[in-house]
Amino acid sequence: MKYLQILGQKKLAGEVSISGAKNAALPLLASTILAKNSVEICNLPNVVDINTLLKLLEMLGSSFSKIDNNCITINTLNINETKATYDIVKTMRASILVLGPLLARFGHCEVSLPGGCAIGQRPVDLHLKALEQMGAIIEIKAGYILATAPKGLKGSTIVFDKITVTGTENIIMAAALAHGTTKIINAAKEPEVVQLCEVLRDAGLNIKGIGTNEIEIEGTAQELLEFKDFGIIADRIEAGTYLCAGAIANSKITLNNVIPMHLDAVLSKLEEMGFGIEKTDTTITLLPAKSIKPVKLTTTEYPGFPTDMQAQFMALATQANGVSIIDENLFENRYMHVNELLRMGADITLKGHTATITGTPNALTGTDVMATDLRASSALVLAALVAKGTTNIHRIYHLDRGYENLEEKLTALGADVKRFNE
Ligand code: UD1
């Protein structure tokens, strides 16, 4: 296993280029199961989760070749296996994204139940209920979802009880090859869902309501789609994490290759905290604050403040002059970073899903801490950037799931970050 060693309190400066969005790339790779042609996909982030999904698609019978570090050509026409096994699904919950397209194309598939997860229970009941409404027969046997729809899926009206990102994506992909029209009500509107819709529309699918919470899809009755080549949108969560790195070091940094509009909620919280923000169409510059102000934020669905940025803002709030309040509304156990931040000297109390952070600039001290999940790990990296002395962050395989070239990018900004073997 590897760990990161960070020597804190360095000023940051300069520019960082943002990678493609992992959470857009995952459903888009799964969507190629619906393609009748090979597809070139660029701006793929070179991170573990993407390689895991590529491995799963390969196990199903697809083939891909790398054009370079971030571009591939993928061909799924030869898929001859429809079982996503436990050993791969257990390493990445998002493997559930193959359920909708496999079932729609082949009329049957087996996908291991994802099981528990560090940030909460995270059931997939809404995905399954919606597929049943589309005529699928779903059985849970020995830890597997067995799904069949011998005559194909039928278009239906799906009203999601809760907004679910991967649930919406799974049903969009299922509906693409269904017989008849599917209406998804209370759909997720995240930019990653929007790009999935746009790529399917460009592949000839008749899809209305893109970017709204009501999406209507006219299924092709199991005819595969002719995909166009495409590039993945910029990762708004990676971008938000680097903005927090600049903010916690109270330094001027510029992000390149971003879509500023996707970060509105994050940028407005940074402005409330006293940081300056300058934007162009594809860049964001963060300017230091005279004094970092505390913040109040509540995580919610897009376009609200993202749960995937909650941990990073908590690290930042430890440097504010005063008391910040964070409400986590999407996942019940997404405060695993709190204990580690406490070990670094933070003053945080938890009550239910509310965290109260009493900030004091420069009060954190480096020590050994443990990464627990992807975004919690990035909060520890941020805290380490501002802590006195050295922080060793263990179990960084969590970070490698979603951050491309983290050490290189932080080092280029002036941080002192090294990776070692345990
Ligand atoms: C996606 C993102 C993840 C992000 C989350 C919320 C990907 C690969 N992952 O996860 O980074 O943190 O959105 O923005 O895109 N729920 C149910 N039943 C279901 C499905 C969801 O009760 O069948 C609940 C969840 O437990 C959670 C809420 O709905 O409380 C939202 O979860 P959801 O949007 O589905 O998260 P993911 O798609 O798994």
Strand partners, 21: none
pLDDT value, residue 116: 56
Domain holding 151, by residue range, is 22-231
Confirm or deny that 123 is annotated as ligand binding.
yes
Q: Residue 392 C-alpha to ligand 1 middle, in angstroms?
A: 30
To the query of whether residue 117 is one of the catalytic residues in this protein, the response is yes
Per DSSP, the chain holds a count of helices (H) and strands (E) of 14, 24
Kindly write down the DSSP assignment for every residue of 107-149, as one continuous string. SEEEEE----BTTB----HHHHHHHHHTT-EEEEETTEEEEE-
pLDDT value, residue 122: 76
Residue of the CA atom closest to atom 27 of ligand 1: 330
Structure tokens at 101: 């397209």
Structure tokens at 183: 């209406």
Question: Are 381 and 247 within one domain?
Answer: yes
Of the candidates 186, 202, 231, which is a domain's last residue?
Answer: 231
Question: Are 252 and 217 within one domain?
Answer: no
Structure tokens at 36: 């009748």
- Output the CA–CA distances (angstroms, integers) from residue 78 to 60, 68, 109, in the order listed: 9, 23, 15
Question: Are 268 and 394 within one domain?
Answer: yes
Question: Are 224 and 103 within one domain?
Answer: yes
H or E stretch at 22: helix 22-31
Question: Are 51 and 65 within one domain?
Answer: yes
pLDDT value, residue 364: 97
- Catalytic option among 109, 117, 197, 244: 117
Of the candidates 187, 211, 231, which is a domain's last residue?
Answer: 231
- Output the CA–CA distances (angstroms, integers) from residue 137 to 114, 116, 132, 147, 242, in the order listed: 19, 24, 6, 6, 45
Question: Are 40 and 112 within one domain?
Answer: yes
Residue of the CA atom closest to atom 39 of ligand 1: 166
- From first to last of its 422 residues, the chain has per-residue pLDDT tens of 899 999 999 999 999 999 999 999 999 999 999 999 999 999 999 999 999 999 999 999 999 999 999 999 999 999 999 999 999 999 899 999 999 999 999 999 999 998 655 656 678 999 999 999 999 999 999 999 999 999 999 999 999 999 999 999 999 999 999 999 999 999 999 999 999 999 999 999 999 999 999 999 999 999 999 999 999 999 999 999 999 999 999 999 999 999 999 999 999 999 999 999 999 999 999 999 999 999 999 999 999 999 999 999 999 999 999 999 999 999 878 899 999 999 999 999 999 999 999 999 999 999 999 998 898 899 999 999 999 999 999 999 899 999 999 999 999 999 999 999 99
Question: Are 121 and 173 within one domain?
Answer: yes
Closest CA to 131 of 170, 187, 102: 170
Question: In the chain, how many domains are there?
Answer: 2
Question: Are 53 and 191 within one domain?
Answer: yes
Q: Residue 95 C-alpha to ligand 1 middle, in angstroms?
A: 13
Question: Are 216 and 183 within one domain?
Answer: yes
CATH at residue 187: 3.65.10.10
Pocket probe mutation, ligand 1, options 133, 166, 377, max atoms within 8 Å of Cβ:
166
Confirm or deny that 327 is annotated as ligand binding.
no
pLDDT value, residue 114: 84
Of the candidates 206, 231, 256, which is a domain's last residue?
Answer: 231
Kindly write down the DSSP assignment for every residue of 350-395, as one continuous string. EETTEEEEEE-TT--B--EEE--SHHHHHHHHHHHHHSBSEEEEE-
Question: Are 282 and 148 within one domain?
Answer: no
Question: Are 102 and 27 within one domain?
Answer: yes
The contacts of residue 270 (CB under 8 Å, 6+ apart) are 243, 247, 277, 286
Q: Is 307 in the pocket of ligand 1 (CB under 6 A)?
A: yes
Pocket probe mutation, ligand 1, options 93, 165, 235, 331, max atoms within 8 Å of Cβ:
165
Residue of the CA atom closest to atom 31 of ligand 1: 164
Residue of the CA atom closest to atom 13 of ligand 1: 165
Instruction: Report yes or no: 307 and 373 within 8 Å, Cβ to Cβ.
Output: no
Question: Are 123 and 166 within one domain?
Answer: yes
The contacts of residue 363 (CB under 8 Å, 6+ apart) are 318, 345, 346, 347
pLDDT value, residue 196: 98
Atom in ligand 1 nearest the alpha carbon of residue 125: 23
Confirm or deny that 368 is annotated as ligand binding.
no
Query: How far is the C-alpha of 199 from the C-alpha of 291, rounded, in Å?
Result: 44
Q: Is 330 in the pocket of ligand 1 (CB under 6 A)?
A: yes
Q: Is 162 in the pocket of ligand 1 (CB under 6 A)?
A: yes
Query: How far is the C-alpha of 335 from the C-alpha of 120, rounded, in Å?
Result: 10
Atom in ligand 1 nearest the alpha carbon of residue 308: 12
pLDDT value, residue 118: 61
Does the model's pTM come out above 0.85?
yes
SS3 161: coil
Q: Is 265 in the pocket of ligand 1 (CB under 6 A)?
A: no
Confirm or deny that 409 is annotated as ligand binding.
no
Length of the chain: 422
Q: Residue 122 C-alpha to ligand 1 middle, in angstroms?
A: 7
Residue of the CA atom closest to atom 17 of ligand 1: 123
